[in-house]
Amino acid sequence: MAPAPATDPIIGQTFGNVVAKSLLGRGGMGAVYLGYHAGLDMKVAIKLLPDLFVGRTELVERFLREARLSGRLQHPNIVRTLDVGQSHGVYYLVMEYVEGVDAQKLLDREKRFSPMRAVNIAGFVARALGEAHEQEIMHRDIKPANILIARDGKVKVTDFGLARSLTNTATALTLSNQVVGTPNYMAPEQIKTTTVDMRVDIYALGVTLWQFLTGILPFEGETPMAVLLNVVNEPLPMPEETFGALPKELREAIVAMTAKDPRRRLPNIPAVLAVLKKARDALLHAGLDSTAPLNSSGTRPPVGETRDPVSGASFAAPIPVPPKDAPPKRADPNTFSKPLGSEGAGKPAARPASARPGTAPPQRKPPTR
C-alpha cells in the first residue's frame, strides 16, 4: 500500500455533488475520502475505485449493479450507499460517513477485545447480514476492516456486495495476478468453486469473531496463495491460551460458523444469532460481562459502570450481572434486536496480557491479509 503523497491531488476535487476533503484510508479496492455533499449539506464518505476498472465494461457493470443493490439496504447496522458514478475517469461510491474507527484499527490498538464485546459486535454484524441475506445480497468480504464502530458505539458494516465486483477469486487472480480481497476470511468453497452462497458470510464472521478474541489471524502463509491453501487444508486452530479460559459455548459458536464444508456450517443468520446468544448467556453466567477495554491498571470497570473508562463514551445499556451463585439468568430474548452495550471507539489503555482470562499475547505475527 503506497503512502499518501504529501499533497494528494484528489483533495479538493469534485465527484458528482461531493468534494473530497481528506483521506480516511486505503484498502485493496481503492481509497476512501471524507467528503462534503453540497446538495445534502452533509459529510459523506467517498470511495474511489482503482484503475483496474478502466476499460473493463463487464467489471464496471457488475460494480454498478452491486452498488445499486446495496443502495437498497436500509438497516441501522449497514452503512448506507447514497450514490454511485464516474468522474475524472474514476468510478466512485458515495456512502454514509461513519465518524469513528474500523474494528481492525481498534484491534490493532487494543490487541484483542473482551469476549463480551467481541460477541456483541459479531451480533450486530450478524443482524446486518440477516437483513442483506433476506434480500439475497451477500457481503462476501466480512472482516474487521469492513466493520465500522461509530463514536456513539453503533456498529455498521460497510462495502456490502462490493466485493462481488472484484473478489471472485478466479476473476481477481486473472485480473491482477494476486488475490484481491482477504484470503484469511475466505471460505474454502469461495476458493475452490465459483458457486457460493450466503454461508461464505457466516464463515467470514466466524473467523472475524475468532480474531476479535485472539488478536491474531488463524492462517499463516508467506504469500496470499499459501494462506489460501491453509484455509482449505488446515483446521481452524483453537489456542488454549484464549479458549481455555472461555465458556465452551464461544468455541462451539465459532466451530459451527467456520465448518470447512458449507453443508456442515450453520445454514443461516437466525442460526448464527442463536449460537451467539448462547455464547453471550454463558459469558454473563461466567461473570465475563464487560464490554469495555480494560483500564490502565488492568482491572475491569466496576459492575454497573456506565461509561467506557477510556473514551468516556456512555454505555447504551449497562449489562446486568447475575449475583454470585445465582441460577443462570435468562438473557434478554431480544439479545441482538437492540443495542446491548457500548462498543465505544475511544482510545484504549495499555493493559497487561495476564489481566483477563483468555487474553495471552499473540503468539504469531499476523500473516498477509
Ligand X SMILES: Nc1ncnc2c1ncn2[C@@H]1O[C@H](COP(=O)(O)OP(=O)(O)OP(=O)(O)O)[C@@H](O)[C@H]1O
Of 35 and 293, which has the nearer Cβ to Mg ion?
35
CB of 203 to ligand X, least distance (A): 16
Q: Which residue pairs, CB below 8 angstroms and at least 24 apart, start in 39-42?
A: 40/82, 42/97
Site for ligand X in 50-79 (CB under 6 A): 79
Q: How far apart are CA 104 and CA 143, in angstroms?
A: 8
Q: Which of 288, 212, 208, 297 is nearest to 246 (CA)?
A: 288
CB of 210 to Mg ion, least distance (A): 19
Site for Mg ion in 99-158 (CB under 5 A): 146
CB of 47 to ligand X, least distance (A): 6
Q: Which does 97 bind (CB under 5 to 8 A by kind): ligand X, Mg ion, none?
A: ligand X
Which position among 18, 19, 28, 161 is part of the footprint of ligand X (CB under 6 A)? 28
Q: Which does 160 bind (CB under 5 to 8 A by kind): ligand X, Mg ion, none?
A: none
Q: How far apart are CA 266 and CA 270, in angstroms?
A: 9
Site for ligand X in 125-144 (CB under 6 A): 141
Which position among 66, 131, 159, 249 is part of the footprint of Mg ion (CB under 5 A)? 159
Q: Which of 158, 27, 151 is nearest to 101 (CA)?
A: 151
108 is catalytic: no
Enumerate residues 6+ apart whose C-beta is below 8 A from 61: none
CB of 45 to Mg ion, least distance (A): 10
Q: Which does 79 bind (CB under 5 to 8 A by kind): Mg ion, ligand X, none?
A: ligand X
Of 187 and 259, which has the nearer Cβ to ligand X?
187
Q: Cα–Cα distances in Å, from 317 out to 302, 326, 332, 339, 358?
A: 15, 22, 12, 7, 25
| Span from 18-26, 221-229, 291-299, 345-353 in contact with ligand X (CB under 6 A) | 18-26
Q: Which of 153, 168, 157 is nearest to 132 (CA)?
A: 157
C-alpha cell belonging to residue 124 = 450486530
Site for ligand X contains 275 (CB under 6 A): no
Q: Are 155 and 142 in contact (CB under 8 A)?
A: no
B/e letters for 278-298, b = 16+ CB within 10 Å, e = fewer, are bbbbbbbbbebbbbbbbbeee
Q: Which does 95 bind (CB under 5 to 8 A by kind): Mg ion, ligand X, none?
A: ligand X
Residues near ligand X (CB under 6 A) are 24-30, 32, 45, 79, 95-98, 102, 141, 145-146, 148, 158-159
